[in-house]
Chain A
Amino acid sequence: MANLEVKNKMSVAQFGVLVTAAMFGGQIIGLPITLVPQAEQFAWVSVILGGGVFFTAAWIMMKLGELYPDRDFTVYLPELLGKWPGLAVIGVFISLFLMVTWLNFNQFSKAVAFFMFDRTPSDVIVMGMLGVVVYCALQDLGTIIRVAEFTFIVSALMMGTIWVLGIFNFQPENLMPFWTDKPLGILQGTISIWGVYGGYEIILLLFPLIDRTKGNLTLALAAAIAFVVVTSIVIVVLTVGVLTVEGVKSESYPTLVVVRSVELPGTFIERLENYLLVAWIPSVFKTLAIFVYVISQTMTKIWGFADHRPWVLALTPVIFVGTTVIDGLELVKLVDKAVTWLGLALSWGIMPLVYFWAKRRKRGVASGGG
C-alpha cells in the first residue's frame, strides 16, 4: 500500500485481524457461565456449531457487500429497501452495537472491581476505560487498525499463556460422560453464544475499505471465526475440566477461578487471575474501541457528517449512562438476552433477506438491461 497518503484502506489480512479483534474481547471471560449451564460437558460442541452458524452469517454479509463493492450498508440499504426501512435496519445495527458496548463495559467493570478493587465503584473503572476507548475511537481508521492489531496480538499471547497454565489442574474425567441426553441444550448453547462471535457485522460498514486485490476475504473471515472457535473451545474445556459442570454453574467468574487455582511453587508468580485480568484489559479495550468507532462512523454516514469525531464525543455520555444504568444481575441478563436475539435477528433474519432481495434485484436489473 502507498505510504504517504492517509491510510484509510486495509488489506484483507488486516481486516481479518480487525474482525478477530472485534469478536475476541469482552464476552470471552463470561463464556463458560453463559454456555456451560445449557450445554454442560458439550459446550465445546456448541462452540463449534456456533462457529459454523456465525461464519455463514458473516459470509452472507460479505456476499451482500460484494453486490455493492464501493458502498457501505448506510448507502445501499436505503436504496434497496427504501429510506425508512433501510434506516430501520441501520437503527437495529446501531442499537445492537450500542447495547453490546454497554454490556461489555458493564461486565468488564464489574469483573475488574470484583477482583482488583473491591472498594472502588465500578463507575470509576468505566470512566477510565471509556476515556481510553474514546481517545482511540477519535483516531482515523488506519490508527485504529494498527492499535487493534497491536493490542490483539499482545493480549492474546498474554491471555493464552496464562490460560494454558490451567492445564495443571485439568482433570479429563470432568468432561465425562462423552455423550449427552440433552441435544437441545447444545443447540440452545449454540445460539446463546452470539455474544462471543458478535462483531463480524462490522463487515457491513468496512467492506468498501478492504483492498481485495490481494488475499481471500472468505478465508480471512474463516480464519477469524476459527480463532474464536479454538480459543473458546480451550476456555470451556479447561473450565469444565478444572471445575466440573456443577462447579462452573456455581461460580460468577469460573474462568478467573480456574486461573486462580493454579499454583506455581518456587516461582515469583502468584494470584494468576490478576495477571489474566491485566491481559484482558487491552483485549476488552480494542473490542470496545472498534465498536465505538463503528457506531460513530455509521452515525456520521447517516447524518452526512464529514468527520466521525463529533459523534464519538456525542456517544461518550450515552455509553457511560447506558453502562451505569444496567445495574443488577436480572437487568444484565435481560439486556444480554435482548442483545443475543437482536444479533440473531440481524444476522439470520434481516441480512439474509436483504441479501436475497438485493440479489434478485441485481438479477432483474441485469436481465432488464440485457
Chain B
Amino acid sequence: MGKTNNDKQCTFGKLSDILPENNLGRLKARIADLKQLTKDSAELGEGMFRIVADLRAVAAPGDDMFVFTPKLAQNVQLLKTVFRDCDDVKFRFFKTAGRQAVLVSLDGMSDTPTLEDNILKPLMQANTSNFDLKQFIEEKLTVATVNIETHANIAVEAVMSGNALIMIDGIADILSAGATKHVKRSVSTPVTEENIRGPQDAFNETLVDNIVLIRRRAKDPNIKIRIVQVGERSKTGVAILYSANLVKPGLVEEVERRIKSLSVDQVLVSKVVEDAMVEHPWTPFPQLESTERPEKVIAAIYEGRVGLIVDNTPATIMVPCTYASIMHAVEDYTMPASVACLVRLSRHIAAFIAIYTPALYIAIVSYHPGMLPTGLAISVAELRARTPFPSFLEAILMEALLELFQEAVTRLPKKLSGAASMVGAFVIGTTVAQAGLVNPLLVVVTAVTAIASYAMPYYSFGLALRSLRVPILLLAATLGLYGVMLGVIIVTIHLCSLRNFGESYLGGILDVALWPDWKDGLVRLPQKFMKNRLIEFGAQDEKRRGGDTGHGQS
C-alpha cells in the first residue's frame, strides 16, 4: 500500500500519511465550507420563497403576475419585487389629495418635463376634498394618453415602454400616462437605397416615426394600421399596414396569423418576422421585399399589398413579393418612361449575366470553342495556354477571390474598405493575371458578373444570384451549354414554384392571365397608360384613379 508497496514491504502507518489530502485539518476546512454552502443555499431558498410569497400575496388570475390592491404599500412591494435589480426603474413618492402616491418610471425612457409639469405638478396640486380620480384625469391631468390599468402584466409592460405608472393609496386603479421619450436616430437619408430625384427621407428604428412617414404621404383613412407584439421577451411591436378598400381579401388576416404564430424569444431585426412569414426557408432568393423608403411602402399598399414595420429596425417588409416587384426601383418612376424601360430591361439582362456569364464562358471555352469566331477562339486558346489550371478551376479561384473581397469590403469600416477595394482591384485585376494563375478574359468575365449583381435594386436578390453562380458553374463544367440550359431550367422551375401568399415568384412575369401587367412589369410605360393596378396582387379596385371615392371599408 502506498509507499510501502513500492518497497514490497508490509508496514503500518496513519491513513493521512498514505492519503495526505485526507488529513484531519483539511477535512475540517472542507466540512466548514460545506456548512457555509448549505447555509447560503438555505438563505437563497428563503429569499426565493419570500419573492414567490410576495408575488402570490394577492391571488392573481392565470396569466397575470399579481393583482393591484387599494393598499399602496402592498402594490409598491409587488412592483419592487418585479423590478428587483432594475436600478433604472425609479419610484417617486409624493402626496396627492392628502394621500400617499408613487410615480413609477423608467429612467431615460420617460420625458422628465412631461413627468414634472404634466403629471406630478397637477397631482401634487390636487384638492384634498372630494378627490375623484376620473374627474381629475378629465379636468387636470395634461398628458395626451392616460389609461387605467388593472392587469399587472400590462402595467409592467407600460413602464418598460417608457410610460409613467401612478399609484395612489386607497385607489385600486393604476394610471398609466404616456410619457415616452427615448434616444433615437432622427429621420435621415436612405443608406442602402439612395436615389437621385426621389424623396430623401428614410425609415429609422422607431415604429412611431415610421408610421408617421407613411401617414404623412397619404391622408387616407382607408390606410389601416394594426399593431401586434411579437417576441416573448422583447415584446417588439409590428405594425401591419394596408389599404382597407384595396387589399386582397384574406391577405391581412393571413399575414397577422403568421406573425402571431411566430414563437421566438426576441425580435431584434425584421428578418426574424420575415422568416416566420416565408414558406421556403432554404431558398437563397428573398421571398419578401424590404425597403427603407416610405414611398415604396405606400406605393405597395396602393397596389393591394401589405406593409410590415417592425420596431427597432428601418427595414420595412412588403408582402407579397415577386421577381417583378423586386426589379422595380423608385428611380424608374422619376425618369422618362422610355429611359426607364431601357433601365429595367438592362436590369433583367444584368440578373441573367450575374448568374450565367461565368458558366457560359466555361461551357464555350471547354466544350464548344467552335461557337466562337476563329480569331477570338485562337486568342482565348493562347491566353489559356499561359495558365496552369483548367478553366473550371480558374473560374472557381476567381469566384473565391471575388467573394473574399466582397465580404471583406462589406465588413470593414468605411475608411478601410476603400483601401481594401484598391488592394482587391489590384490583386484581382492585375496581379492574378500577371502571375499566370487566371487568364485576363476570365478576369473580365468575373468583373462583369460582379458588376451585374450590384445592379440589382434589392441587395438580398443580388446575394441570391451570387450564391447560384458556383452550382451553375459545376453544371457548365460537367455538361457544357447543355448543363447551363439545365441550370436555367432548374432555376426557372424553382422560382416559379416559390409562392408566398399565393403569388408565383417568377411565373407571373410571362403569364398570359397577367398580360395587362406588362405595362409596369418588364418595362415601364408613361403614367397615363397605367390606369389599372397590377392584377398580380389582386387589388379589390383595379382602377388607379377616378374609381373609389368612398372612405369606409369596402
**Chain A residue nearest to B376 in the complex (CB):** A268
Interface size range of chain B in the complex:
35 or more
Residues of chain A within 8 A (CB-CB) of B294 are: none
CB contacts under 8 Å to A, within B363-378, are: 367-368, 370-374, 376
A150 touches B490 (CB 8 A): no
Once A11-B512, A116-B367, A146-B506 are accepted as A-B contacts, the answer to whether A135 and B493 lie under 8 Å apart by CB is yes
Question: With a CB–CB cut-off of 8 A, which chain B residues contact A1?
Answer: 513
Contact with A along B367-404 (1 / 0, CB 8 A): 11011111010000000000000000000000000000
B511 / chain A contacts, CB cutoff of 8 Å: 14, 146, 149
**Quick one: which of B501, B507, B513, B536 contacts A147, CB cutoff 8 A?**
B507
Q: Is B203 in contact with chain A by the CB < 8 A criterion?
A: no
**Residue B334 at the chain A interface, CB threshold 8 Å:** no
Q: A146-B504, A275-B371 are in contact. List 7 more A-B contacts (CB 8 A).
A: A10-B513, A116-B482, A142-B504, A142-B507, A146-B496, A149-B507, A270-B372
**Residue from A132, A153, A274 within 8 A of B371 (CB atoms):** A274
Tell me the bound Cα distance from A16 to B511 in angstroms.
Answer: 12
- Chain A residue total in the interface (Cβ 8 A): 46
A1 to B481, CA, bound (A): 38
Complex interface: chain B residues within 8 A of A17 (CB): 512
A281 engages B480 (CB within 8 Å): no
Chain A residue at minimum C-beta to C-beta distance from B501: A4
Q: Contacts of B440 on A, CB cut-off 8 Å?
A: none
Residue B329 is within 8 A (CB to CB) of chain A in the complex: no
Q: Show 5 residue pairs from A and B whose CB-CB distance is below 8 angstroms, ordered by the A residue.
A: A3-B537, A7-B499, A112-B482, A128-B479, A143-B504
Interfacial residues, chain B to chain A (CB-CB below 8 A): 248, 250-251, 254, 320, 367-368, 370-374, 376, 479-483, 485-486, 488-490, 492-493, 496-497, 499, 501-504, 506-513, 515, 536-538
Contact A117 B480 (CB under 8 A): yes
Known: A3-B537, A125-B482, A281-B485. A117 touches B490 (CB 8 A): no
Q: Mark A280-299, 1 if CB is under 8 A from B, else 0.
A: 01100100000000000000
Please give, as numbers and ranges, the residues of chain B lying within 8 Å of A154 by CB-CB distance.
510
Known contacts A128-B479, A271-B370; A151/B489 CB under 8 A: yes
Chain A, 119-177, CB within 8 A of any chain B CB: 120, 124-125, 128-129, 131-132, 135-136, 139, 142-143, 145-147, 149-151, 153-154
Other-chain residue from B368, B490, B499 in contact with A132 (beta carbon distance below 8 A): B490
Closest to A146 in B: B507
* Residues in A whose Cβ lies below 8 Å from that of B510: 149-150, 153-154
The 6 closest A-B pairs by CB, nearest first: A146-B507, A3-B502, A3-B538, A13-B512, A281-B485, A4-B502
CA–CA, A3 and B506, complex, Å: 14
Is the C-beta of A278 less than 8 angstroms from some C-beta in chain B? yes
Question: How far, in whole Å, are A136 and B376 apart by their CA atoms in the complex?
Answer: 38
B506 touches which of A13, A112, A128, A150 (Cβ 8 Å): A150
Given A17-B512, A135-B493, A274-B481, check contact A117 B370 (CB 8 Å).
no
Tell me if A13 and B513 are in contact (CB < 8 A): yes
Cα of A78 to Cα of B480 in the assembled complex, Å: 48
State in angstroms the CA–CA spacing of A132 and B509 once bound together: 21
Contact across chains for B483 and A128 when beta carbons are under 8 A apart: yes
> How far is B522's CA from A153's CA once the two chains are assembled, in angstroms?
14
Q: Which of these, A6, A13, A271, A282, contacts B485 with CB under 8 Å? A: A282
Q: Does the CB pair A278–B481 fall under 8 Å?
A: yes
Does any Cβ of B come within 8 Å of A329's Cβ?
no
Whether the pair B488, A14 counts as a contact (CB closer than 8 A) is: no
Looking at B372, B492, B503, B513, the one whose CB has the most chain A CB atoms below 10 A away is B513
A151/B492 contact (C-beta < 8 A), A14-B511, A128-B486, A146-B511 known = yes
Q: Would you give the shortest CB distance from B462 to chain A, in whole angstroms?
A: 22
Interface assignment of A330: CB less than 8 Å from any CB of chain B? no
Minimal beta-carbon separation of B466 from chain A (angstroms) = 23
Please judge, given known A-B contacts A142-B504, A282-B485, whether A274 and B368 are in contact too, CB under 8 Å: yes
* B485 with A268: CB separation less than 8 A: no
Q: Are B251 and A132 closer than 8 Å at their CB atoms?
A: no
Whether B512 contacts A143 by the Cβ 8 Å rule is no
Which residue of B is nearest A139, CB measured? B497
With the chains together, A14 CA to B507 CA distance in Å? 12
A136–B493 contact, CB under 8 A? yes
Which of A143, A268, A285 makes the CB contact (< 8 A) with B489?
Answer: A285
Which residues does chain A contribute within 8 Å of B374, judged by CB atoms? 270
Contact A132 B502 (CB under 8 A): no
Q: Are A281 and B489 in contact (CB under 8 A)?
A: yes
Q: Taking CB as reference atom, which chain B residue is nearest A15?
A: B512
> Bound state CA distance, A277 and B479, in angstroms?
14
Alpha-carbon distance A112/B254, docked complex (angstroms): 47
Provide the residues of chain A in CB contact with B370, threshold 8 Å: 270-271, 274
On whether the beta carbons of A270 and B371 are closer than 8 Å, the reply is yes
